[in-house]
Amino acid sequence: MIYFLEKRYRDLVQHNQDIVKYCQSRTYTIDNHMLNASLDMAIARFNTILLRLIQHPLQAEEHKLDVEECQSAINDFYHYILKLDTWPRFTHWFWRHMIHRVGTKKLPKIRALLNRIEDVQ
**Own/partner pairs, 110-114, CB within 8 angstroms, 24+ separation:** 110/42, 110/45, 110/46, 110/49, 110/70, 110/73, 110/74, 111/45, 113/49, 113/63, 113/66, 113/67, 113/70, 114/45, 114/48, 114/49
For 24-68, how does the pLDDT look when each residue is reduced to its tens digit (9 = 90+)?
887 766 577 888 889 999 999 999 999 999 888 888 889 999 999
For 14-23, how does the pLDDT look when each residue is reduced to its tens digit (9 = 90+)?
999 999 888 8
Report which DSSP code applies to 121.
-
Do residues 28 and 82 lie in contact, with contact meaning Cβ atoms separated by under 8 Å? no
The model's pTM: 0.90
